[in-house]
Amino acid sequence: MEIANKKAVIVGGASGFGRATAEALAKRGADVAILDRPQSKGQEVADGLGLTFYPVDVTDFTGTEQVLQQAVDALGGLHIAVTTAGGGTAERTVKKSGPHSLDSFRSSVDLNLIGTFNVSRLSAWHMSTNQPEDDERGVIINTASIAGYEGQVGQIPYSAAKGGVIGMTLVAARDLAPLGIRVVTIAPGMFLTPAYPVPAEQLEAHWGPQIPFPKRMGQPAEYATLVTSIVENDYLNGEVIRLDGALRFPPK
């Protein structure tokens, strides 16, 4: 799919992977809408890139449907949807104070898995109305994590949710194949994004030496480069692509 003149929605586009992706797609000539939390820097980022910002909390599933509809109406269609919203907290299954909080588990699944599926299903519906271009109507790119394969101690909710995103990739691609809509998931390793409440230098010093090659943490622009490659390569479908420098998480 050619990127120029396509309509794209980036969920989580105010920072990190999403911001880099919005910038990359816009530079290639796509018409891009940024969706992110109301308290994010979404408006500032959108203004800087000459794009449009729509505030939304992806765990508000009804609200997400309404905001996505607004964005698609303003864009005049939808060809590319990228979901990058996510996050998690560390908590062991059993602690000194008792078992893992069920509420925190549900919250993580709502954010990382159900929120991703909600945007995917709604995006696919909008894409299904497109006129096909070389038999293709759209591409959905979701974000998992290598924690979905080898989660660390305390990552049960996050790993379970990201594992769910990984697991639904092939099924979604098969479901949507008759409509000419592709589904691909990126599973990043350790990247320097604002998601971590730790200074970048400290993160780099800890993780850089553990990554086989290159011996550094990833940059959001490298995620965005993969997004543009997926959009342009029509034969990438139903695949989960690890973007991790060959890192495999240790237990801790």
Q: What's this model's pTM, rounded to 2 decimal places?
A: 0.95
The per-residue pLDDT for 11 is 97
The per-residue pLDDT for 90 is 87
- Determine whether 54 is exposed, middle or buried from the number of CB atoms within 10 Å of its CB (0-12, 13-18, 19+): buried
The per-residue pLDDT for 195 is 76
Model confidence pLDDT, tens digit, residues 160-214: 999 999 999 999 999 999 999 999 999 999 999 887 777 888 889 999 999 999 9
Rounded Cα distance, 64 and 80, in Å: 17
CB within 8 Å of 105: residues ≥ 6 apart: 156, 157, 160
**Residue 241 β-bridge partners:** 186
Share of the chain above pLDDT 90, in %: 91
pLDDT above 90 for 59: yes
Rounded Cα distance, 184 and 175, in Å: 13
Q: What is the mean pLDDT of residues 34-48?
A: 95
CA distances 209 to 168, 169, 200, 214, 248, Å, are: 33, 31, 14, 9, 13
Largest CA-CA distance found in the chain, in angstroms, rounded = 58
Phi, psi of 96 (to 5 degrees): -60, -30
Q: At what angle do helices 115-127 and 156-176 cross, to 10 degrees?
A: 20
The per-residue pLDDT for 193 is 86
Q: At what angle do helices 16-27 and 220-232 cross, to 10 degrees?
A: 50
pLDDT above 80 for 114: yes
pLDDT band of 88, cuts 50, 70, 90: confident
pLDDT band of 28, cuts 50, 70, 90: very high
Q: Please identify which of the residues 158, 196, 223, 235 carries the catalytic annotation.
A: 158
The per-residue pLDDT for 85 is 86
CA distances 40 to 16, 56, 160, Å, are: 12, 10, 26
pLDDT above 90 for 102: yes
Q: What is the mean pLDDT of residues 111-130?
A: 98
AA letter at 235: Y
Q: Which domains does the chain have, with CATH numbers?
A: 7-243 (3.40.50.720)
158 has catalytic annotation: yes
User: Lowest-confidence range among 52-56, 193-197, 248-252?
Assistant: 193-197
